Homo-oligomer: A and B are copies of this chain.
Amino acid sequence: MPTPSFAARYLGRTVLAIGAHPDDIELGIGGTVALLAAAGIRVVTAIVSVPAEYELRSAEAKESAAILGSEPRILLEGGCRRIEDLKNYQLVGLLDALVREAKPAAVLTHGPTDFHHDHVTVYHATVAAQRVMQFDLFSYVPTMTRPVPVPFEPNAYVDISSTMDKKLEAIAAHKSQFYSRGLAFEFYRDLARVNGRMVGVDYAEALAVDKIVFA
């Protein structure tokens, strides 16, 4: 008998994926987003800000969302913005509003050990947004285009064997990052293989459970 699926848990509901910037969601949980979307679940992929090249990167994010099957959103839309230009209470306010509107059954966001200041800020603001309503909360692996070893202790795994390629395709849609700047993202296939072996599947994305509630 197969392992119960992530999709089964959220069928008929909304899952909210949050990334500080374009490509974070794809690097961290692109396979999971594609898996949920393929099962007919509404997945909102919300990018907090686009720090540079707004038009180009927004277009890439839109293309990537089309590949994954998610509903893209840019919270600080309309032009280049930096998360640090917001006060924390403003960022919490933005996420509160998003949660009120999307009513997510689960939220997937950055984790507290990430080395990027904006990522950690977004994590803490998402934790605070739990005041608005109850939702399952998961953190994903530190995301980076150039490797910096930081600790991450996953305890949840999603089998993305069927969407591994789609994840890489969605990452590749961010051409301005991975082609112009010559960055390799094969790392994410290697990481998914190691995580997959840990739980007996070909490829897996690893998550850390912040809170999960069972009725």
Contacts and interface: CB of A to CB of B under 8 A. Distances in A.
Interface string A193-215: 11001111000100001111111
A82 interface: yes
Given A82-B89, A88-B117, A127-B148, A213 B199 contact: yes
A154 to B, nearest CB: 7
A213 B160 CA distance: 11
Interface stretch (A2-10, A57-65, A66-74, A169-177): A2-10
A145 B197 CA distance: 12
Contacts of A116: 128
Contacts of A151: 153
Copies of this chain, how many?
6
Interface residues of A, number: 63
A51 B212 CA distance: 32
Contacts of A210: 155
Contacts of A131: 144-146, 148
Interface string A72-95: 000000000010110111001000
A180 B115 CA distance: 39
B159 A6 contact: no
Interface in A119-134: 124, 127-128, 130-132, 134
Interface of A: 1-6, 8-10, 12-13, 51, 82, 84-85, 87-89, 92, 105, 115-118, 124, 127-128, 130-132, 134, 144-151, 153-159, 187, 190-191, 193-194, 197-200, 204, 209-215
Task: List the 10 closest pairs (A to B, CB-CB), nearest first.
Answer: A6-B214, A3-B215, A88-B117, A131-B146, A5-B215, A130-B148, A151-B153, A209-B209, A158-B214, A84-B87
